[in-house]
Amino acid sequence: MKCLVCDREAKEKFCMLHDKAYRNVVQKFEDWKRATGISWKEYLKEVAENTFTGSWAKEVAEQLLSEHND
Ligand SMILES: [Zn+2]
């Protein structure tokens, strides 16, 4: 199976590098949610649009947002 973001081998959704970024994104969301009550989708948009976000996290956030279309 390939990473959803890049073409590297992945165990589940993401390769090792994007999985690490994904874990960071999820972990930070817990803090943000506690502090601001932000929703998961709003948070992902913030991460994807924030110029200070690392590119790995940004790519992961964009991928998660694309899965999240309603
Ligand atoms: Zn990847």
pLDDT of the chain, 70 residues: tens digit per residue? 999 999 999 989 999 999 999 999 999 999 999 999 999 999 999 999 987 788 999 999 999 999 876 6
Q: For the chain, how many structural domains are there in total?
A: 1
- In a domain, residue 5? The reply is no
Question: Which residue stretches of 1-51 are H helix?
Answer: 16-36, 40-49
Burial bucket for residue 70 (CB in 10 Å: 0-12, 13-18, 19+): exposed
- In a domain, residue 29? The reply is yes
Question: For residue 69, how far is its CA from the centre of ligand 1 (angstroms)?
Answer: 21
Q: Which domain holds residue 32?
A: 16-67
Which residues are placed with Cβ below 5 angstroms of ligand 1, an ion?
Answer: 3, 5-6, 8, 15, 18
Question: For residue 38, how far is its CA from the centre of ligand 1 (angstroms)?
Answer: 26
Q: CA Rg, the chain, in Å?
A: 12
pTM of the complete model = 0.86
- In a domain, residue 36? The reply is yes
- In a domain, residue 11? The reply is no
